[in-house]
C-alpha cells in the first residue's frame, strides 16, 4: 500500500530501490546474574570484546581510500577514544564485580546511565556524542555475542538502508557497495553524517520518525532527497514522475559540466570569485579542475584529528606546500588549528570534559594557550608561502587583542625563519573568521588588525540564535533566514566594502544555490564552498543580475520574520 512520509533534506538526490532494514541500536537485554566464581572470567570476556572491537575499528580504517579517508579519520579516532574511556570501562567492570551482572547486562546498564547524562546536559558537544556512544556500545555488544559482522554496514547494491542512525564511517562503505540511499528515523541536515553524505552524493533523508514502523525488508522505496520525502510502494504516477525527474537530473549534470571553464560573471557583468573549501588533496585537485579561484578555507585540524600524536613543523610544511603547489599559483587561505567544541582530538590538545565546550577553549583561544604548537604551525604556513600566494585565517576571533597577539607571533616566526636562512613568504595576509556575534558587532576595533574577513555562517547562526545545529529537537529553529542573521551579514559585508577589506562567506549557505541570489543581494562577491557545489553556484551567479539584486536588499532587511524573507527570496 502506498505510503508517503516526510523528513529532513540531509543530502539531495533521487533513488528507487528495495528496503534493507537495520534494527535500532538500542539494547534490549534482560537482567542476567552470574556466580561469584565466574566474575573474573566475565570481566576478561568484556575486555576481550573491547579489544576485538578496537581491532575491528582499525581494520575498517585501513580499508578507507580516496578523499573521504582524512575526513573519516576524525570519527574513527573518536570511537577509539570511547573504547578506551575509563568512565565507560571501569563502570562496566564495577557492575560485573559488585552487582555480579553478566557483561552484556552490565554494558546495557552503563550505556543507559551515560546516555541519561548526555541527554540531561544542555550542551551541543556532549549531546552529539550520544550517538557515538550508541555506536561504540553496539560494537562491543556484537563482539560479546561473537557477531563480528553485526556492526558492519548492511546493505547491498540496489538497496536503500533504513535505520535509526548511520555513522559517518559507514557511509563511504555503503556508497562503495552500491547502496542507493539512506533513510534515518533520527538525525538532522547538519550532522556529520549528512555533511559527508553530500560529499559522497549519496541521497539521505533524516528524521523520518514513522518509517521504521511502516516498512519491511524488500519493500520498494522511493527516496526524494530534493523534497525530503519518502514513498513506500510508489504507484504508477510516482514511478513516472521519478523517471522524468531522473532524466532531468542527467541533463542537468551534462549542462553543468559545460561550465567548468566558464567565467563566474553575473548577467550584468560583475565578476564573482568562487573559492573552495578543502581538507584533502582530492578536494584541491577537484577545485583546480572546476576552475575555483583558489582555496578559501583549508581546514588544518584534520591533520591533528587523524592521529594520537601532534604533527611536527616539517610534516605540516610538506602538506601545506603541496596544497599551494596543487593550486598552481591561485591563492590559498589556510585556517589555523580549530580544535575544540564538536572536534574531538586524540592528541590531548583540547580540554577533556569542559563544562560547555562550544563556548570553551577552542579555535584561536586554544592556539594562544598552546603557543609552541601554534608557532610551529605558523612557521610551517610561512614556509609554504614561499611557493605561492598564501593567507592565514584565524578562527573563533572575539577581540582585537587576539588578532594583535596572532600578528605579533606571525612577525616573530617570520623573522626567526629569515634569520636562519629559510625561505619564507614575504607578504602573508592575516585575516579573522567572523563566527562569534561579538566579533561581528565590534568590527571597528578589528579593522586595522586584519587584512581580510571570512564569515563562518554555520557557527555564526548557531551563536546568534542560541540553537544547536546538531540537535534534532530544535532543528526547525536553526535557519540562516532569520532577520538577525541577514542584518549581521549585511553589516559585515557593508563594513568590508567601506574599509576595503575583502569579505568571504565560507559556511554551508555559500554552497547552496538556493541562497546564491540572497547573498548577492546582500553584497557578497566572494564565496567559499565545497568543490561539489561549485558548478551549481556558478550557474546561479551567471543567471543573476547583481545590480537588480542589490536594489532588493532593503525589503529583505525590513522583513520581520523568516516567512517574510522566504517570500521575498522566491521572488528573487
Taking alpha carbons only, the member of 463, 472, 412, 468 closest to residue 433 is 463
Q: Which one of 451, 470, 504 terminates a domain?
A: 451
pLDDT for 222: 97
Q: Are residues 314 and 443 in the same domain?
A: yes
pLDDT for res 153: 47
Calculate the CA dihedral of residues 342, 343, 348, 354 and round it to 10 degrees.
-10
Residue 223, domain member (yes or no):
yes
The answer as to whether 92 is a domain residue is yes
Instruction: Tell me the residue range of the domain where 333 lies.
Output: 294-451
CA dihedral (561, 565, 566, 568) positive or negative: positive
Higher pLDDT, 41 or 360: 41
- Supply the CATH number for residue 426's domain: 3.20.20.60
Q: What is the pLDDT of residues 213-262, one digit of tens each?
A: 888 888 999 999 999 999 999 999 999 999 999 999 888 888 998 999 99
Cβ neighbours of residue 158 closer than 8 Å, sequence gap 6 or more: 17, 18, 178, 180
Dump pLDDT digits (tens) for 378-397.
Answer: 999 999 999 999 999 999 99
The catalytically annotated residue of 398, 413, 424, 506 is 506
Which of 499, 488, 367 has the alpha carbon at shortest distance from 435? 488
Between 424 and 279, the higher pLDDT residue: 424
Alpha carbons 339 and 266: distance in angstroms, whole number: 37
More confident residue, 348 or 469: 469
Where is mean pLDDT largest: 87-96, 179-188, 478-487? 478-487
Rounded to the nearest angstrom, the gap between the alpha carbon of residue 291 and the centroid of all alpha carbons in its chain is: 23
Among 239, 263, 282, residue at a domain's last position: 239
Residues 229, 318: one domain? Answer: no
Q: How far apart are CA 337 and CA 344, in angstroms?
A: 12
Same domain, 439 and 364: yes
Residue 324 lies in a domain: yes
Statement to judge: residues 140 and 161 lie in one domain = no
For cell 596572532, what's the residue?
Answer: 406
Residues 6+ apart with CB under 8 A from 237: none
**Which residues, 6 or more positions from 268, have their beta carbon under 8 angstroms from its beta carbon?**
545, 546, 547, 548
Residue at 116 is within a domain: yes
Are 312 and 442 found together in one domain? yes
88 and 174 belong to one structural domain: no
CA distances in angstroms from 238 to 201, 216, 234, listed in the order given? 22, 20, 5
Asked if residue 551 belongs to a domain, the reply is no
Q: Is residue 255 part of a domain?
A: no
Name the 3-class secondary structure at 182.
Answer: strand
Choice among 192, 482, 490, 530 that is catalytic: 192
Please confirm, yes or no, whether 209 is among the known catalytic residues.
Answer: no
Same domain, yes or no: 105 and 182: no
Our count of domains for the chain comes to: 3
- Burial class of residue 111, CB neighbours in 10 A (0-12, 13-18, 19+): buried
- CATH number for position 94: 1.10.274.10
Distance CA 321, CA 380 (A): 9
Active-site residue flag, 506: yes
Considering the domain architecture, whether residues 428 and 340 belong to the same structural domain is answered as: yes
Q: Are 330 and 433 found together in one domain?
A: yes
Whether the Cβ atoms of residue 205 and residue 228 lie closer than 8 Å to each other: yes
User: What values do phi and psi take at 5, rounded to 5?
Assistant: -130, 155
Cα–Cα distance measured from residue 400 to residue 403, given in angstroms and rounded to the nearest whole number: 5
Q: Which of 451, 466, 499 is the last residue of a domain?
A: 451
Assess whether 115 and 208 both reside in one domain.
no
Same domain, 447 and 304: yes
Confidence band of 148 (pLDDT split at 50, 70, 90): very low
**Residue 490 counted as domain residue:** no
How far apart (Å, rounded) are the C-alpha atoms in residues 395 and 435? 8
pLDDT given at position 182: 95
Mutual angle of helices 86-99 and 39-62, in 10-degree steps: 150
Look at residue 227 and tell me if it is in a domain. yes
Integer Cα distance of 222 and 230 in angstroms? 6
CATH code of 188's domain: 3.50.30.10
Verify that 161 and 95 share a domain, yes or no.
no
Amino acid at each position: 500500500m502506498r505510503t508517503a512520509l516526510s523528513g529532513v533534506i540531509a543530502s539531495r538526490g533521487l533513488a528507487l530501490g528495495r528496503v534493507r532494514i537495520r534494527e535500532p541500536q538500542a539494547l534490549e537485554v534482560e537482567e542476567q546474574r552470574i556466580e561469584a566464581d565466574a566474575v573474573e572470567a566475565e570481566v576478561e570476556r568484556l575486555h576481550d570484546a573491547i579489544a576485538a572491537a578496537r581491532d575491528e575499528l582499525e581494520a575498517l580504517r585501513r580499508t578507507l581510500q580516496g578523499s573521504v579517508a582524512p575526513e573519516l579519520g576524525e570519527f574513527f579516532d573518536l570511537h577509539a577514544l570511547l573504547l578506551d574511556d575509563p568512565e565507560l570501562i571501569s563502570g562496566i567492570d564495577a557492575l560485573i564485580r559488585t552487582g555480579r551482572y553478566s557483561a552484556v547486562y552490565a554494558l546495557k546498564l552503563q550505556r543507559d546511565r551515560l546516555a541519561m547524562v548526555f541527554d540531561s546536559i544542555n550542551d551541543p558537544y556532549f549531546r552529539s556524542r550520544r550517538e557515538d556512544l550508541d555506536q561504540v556500545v553496539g560494537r562491543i555488544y556484537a563482539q560479546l555475542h561473537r557477531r563480528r559482522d553485526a556492526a558492519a554496514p548492511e546493505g547491498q547494491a540496489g538497496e536503500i538502508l533504513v535505520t535509526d542512525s548511520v555513522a559517518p564511517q559507514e557511509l563511504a562503505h555503503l556508497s562503495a557497495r552500491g547502496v542507493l540511499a539512506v533513510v534515518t528515523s533520527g538525525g538532522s541536515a547538519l550532522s556529520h553524517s549528512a555533511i559527508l553524505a553530500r560529499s559522497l552524493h549519496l541521497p539521505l533523508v533524516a528524521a523520518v520518525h514513522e518509517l521504521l514502523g511502516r516498512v519491511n525488508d524488500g519493500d520498494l522505496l522511493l527516496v526524494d532527497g530534493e523534497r525530503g520525502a519518502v514513498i513506500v510502494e510508489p504507484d504508477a504516477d510516482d514511478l513516472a514522475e521519478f523517471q522524468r525527474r531522473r532524466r532531468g537530473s542527467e541533463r542537468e549534470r551534462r549542462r553543468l559540466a559545460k561550465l567548468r571553464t566558464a567565467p563566474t560573471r553575473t548577467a550584468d557583468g560583475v565578476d564573482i570569485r568562487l573559492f573552495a573549501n578543502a581538507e584533502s588533496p582530492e578536494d584541491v585537485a577537484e577545485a583546480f579542475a572546476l576552475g575555483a579561484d583558489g582555496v578559501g578555507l583549508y581546514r588544518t585540524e584534520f591533520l591533528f584529528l587523524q592521529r594520537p600524536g601532534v604533527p611536527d613543523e616539517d610534516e605540516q610544511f610538506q602538506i601545506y606546500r603541496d596544497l599551494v603547489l596543487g593550486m598552481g599559483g591561485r591563492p590559498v587561505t589556510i585556517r589555523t588549528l580549530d580544535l575544540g567544541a564538536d572536534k574531538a582530538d586524540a592528541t590531548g590538545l583540547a580540554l577533556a570534559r569542559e563544562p560547555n565546550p562550544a563556548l570553551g577553549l577552542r579555535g584561536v583561544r586554544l592556539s594562544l594557550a598552546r603557543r609552541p604548537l601554534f608557532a610551529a604551525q605558523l612557521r610551517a604556513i610561512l614556509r609554504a608561502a614561499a611557493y605561492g600566494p598564501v593567507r592565514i585565517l584565524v578562527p573563533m576571533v572575539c577581540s582585537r587583542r587576539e588578532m594583535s597577539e596572532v600578528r605579533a607571533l606571525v612577525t616573530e616566526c617570520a623573522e626567526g625563519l629569515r634569520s636562519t636562512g629559510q625561505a619564507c613568504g614575504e607578504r602573508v595576509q592575516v585575516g579573522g573568521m567572523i563566527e562569534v556575534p561579538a566579533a561581528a558587532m565590534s568590527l571597528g576595533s578589528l579593522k586595522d588588525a586584519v587584512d581580510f574577513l571570512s564569515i563562518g555562517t554555520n557557527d555564526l547562526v548557531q551563536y546568534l540564535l542560541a540553537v544547536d545545529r546538531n540537535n534534532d529537537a530544535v532543528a526547525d529553529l536553526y535557519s540562516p533566514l532569520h532577520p538577525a542573521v541577514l542584518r549581521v551579514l549585511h553589516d559585515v559585508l557593508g563594513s568590508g566594502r567601506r574599509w576595503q577589506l575583502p569579505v568571504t562567506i565560507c559556511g554551508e549557505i555559500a554552497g547552496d544555490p538556493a541562497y546564491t541570489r540572497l547573498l548577492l543581494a546582500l553584497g557578497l562577491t566572494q564565496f567559499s564552498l565545497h568543490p561539489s557545489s561549485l558548478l551549481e553556484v556558478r550557474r546561479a551567479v551567471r543567471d543573476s543580475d547583481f545590480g537588480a539584486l542589490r536594489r532588493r536588499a532593503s525589503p529583505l532587511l525590513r522583513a520581520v520574520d523568516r516567512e517574510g524573507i522566504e517570500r521575498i527570496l522566491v521572488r528573487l
